[in-house]
Copies of this chain bind each other. A is one copy, B any other.
Amino acid sequence: MSETSPAAARQPAAPYEPTPRTEPTRARERASYDRELVHSVLDEGYVCHLGFVRDGAPVVLPTLYARIGERLYIHGSTGSRPLRAAGETDPGIPVCLTVTHVDGLVLARSAFHHSINYRSVVVHGTARQVTGADERRTALDAIVEHVVPGRSHDSRPASPKELAATAVVRLELEEVSAKVRTGGPSDDPEDLALPYWSGVVPLTRGYGAPVASDDLDPAVALPGYLAEL
């Protein structure tokens, strides 16, 4: 939402269009195509699970990503399998990129209704190698910045040799859905009087105190963007 454009602020971004593979077969009430929700889930994380198909079988690997507008970028060694495949195979390879935040344990009176509060985004699409030098550099900066805001301007930029050793892949946010569960357990009415505690145990995530490298010059202070984490 832009503060300088009241018209845009009144008109939220159009949701993603559902497709057969983003329409849930169950728990439909948890599914959403809301663009801002999708963006917020993607922006809160930085590790995704990337799925691709090799020799007819699925492969799922964790990897870093960042969002720029309606594109996700992932990077890796030019020797890594999915990134190599995205480059070798024109026009790219089919992938499924999933980001999940687990927010709470949902304890019902019945074992059956135990659940997890979570927010996830599933992106289906085609991963395509990024070849343009500007887009590659912007994407790599975005990935560093996505993990630690402020860091991309406080480290040595990649050299041409390092850039050449890094594969960058782009995935358009087109076929996308979010799934969210919040709130307490959904016990059956006849179970409410059972003598079992019920409720939610929230899960927390945080940062420990930064540990400087042994060989760090003691004159280099902890930067503000890390002290604020």
User: Measuring CB to CB, which residues of chain A are less than 8 angstroms from any residue of chain B?
Assistant: 21, 25-27, 47, 49-62, 64, 77, 79-81, 94-98, 100, 102, 104-105, 107-112, 114, 116, 118, 120, 122, 124, 140-141, 144, 147-148, 151-152, 154-159, 162, 166, 184-185, 187, 191-217, 220-223, 226, 229
Pairwise interchain contact A197-B211, C-beta atoms closer than 8 A? no
Instruction: Find the residue from A97, A104, A193, A196 having the highest chain B CB count within 10 A.
Output: A196
Majority DSSP secondary structure for residues of A touching B: mixed
Q: Which residues of B contact A213 (CB under 8 A)?
A: 184-185, 187, 198-199
Contact of A156 among B144, B196, B201, B204 (CB under 8 A): B196
Q: How many copies of this chain are found per oligomer?
A: 2
| Residues in B neighbouring A100, C-beta threshold 8 A | 47, 49, 62
- Which listed residue (B50, B118, B201, B214) contacts A208, Cβ 8 A? B201
- Taking the closest CB of chain B, its distance from the CB of A119, in whole angstroms, is 10
With contact pairs A50-B60, A80-B25 given, residues A202 and B207 touching in the complex (Cβ less than 8 Å): yes
Q: Contact at B202–A208, with CB atoms within 8 Å?
A: yes
Are A203 and B208 interface neighbours, CB within 8 A?
yes
Q: Hey, which chain B residues are within 8 Å of A118, CB to CB?
A: 47, 62
Once A111-B157, A157-B111 are accepted as A-B contacts, the answer to whether A226 and B203 lie under 8 Å apart by CB is no
When chains A and B are docked, how far (Å) is the Cα of A216 from the Cα of B107?
A: 12
